[in-house]
Homo-oligomer: A and B are copies of this chain.
Amino acid sequence: MSVSLRPSEALALWHDVTLDLVRDGGHDFSSRQITILLTIYLEPPPHTVRGLAAKLKVTKPVITRALDTMGALDLVTRRRDETDRRNVIIQRTVKGALFVEKMGDIIVARAKELPR
């Protein structure tokens, strides 16, 4: 238990950060895409298409398409699971790690300058 935020502060923070992402980010990701990216980079591996789909309560093609998009941007990679070749293991990339790190910095900076 930990970060104490009032609703108005919480919304102001969300507003400021998404504004930064829109203005400076270059990309315009949906909530689904953001969630998939952060899950891959924050939760312990391995990550599979089925696992992500279950966690987000969406269908598998949604995950496949999001991986296609973010793979084309070099934010994630896919690899066959050799122990069970039906599975696909989703892996992190240097570029993706930098992207997520930058996002963390934006949130921290905006939280710091929040009026209260």
Contact = CB atoms under 8 A, between A and B. Distances in A.
A34 B9 contact: no
Contacts of A8: 104
Interface in A1-44: 1-15, 17-19, 21-23, 25, 28-32, 34-35, 38-39, 41-42
Contacts of A38: 11, 14-15, 18
Interface residues of A, number: 50
17 contacts: A2-B9, A2-B112, A2-B114, A3-B13, A3-B114, A7-B107, A11-B38, A14-B17, A14-B34, A14-B107, A15-B38, A19-B35, A22-B32, A22-B57, A23-B56, A28-B31, A31-B34
Interface of A: 1-15, 17-19, 21-23, 25, 28-32, 34-35, 38-39, 41-42, 55-58, 100-101, 103-105, 107-108, 111-116
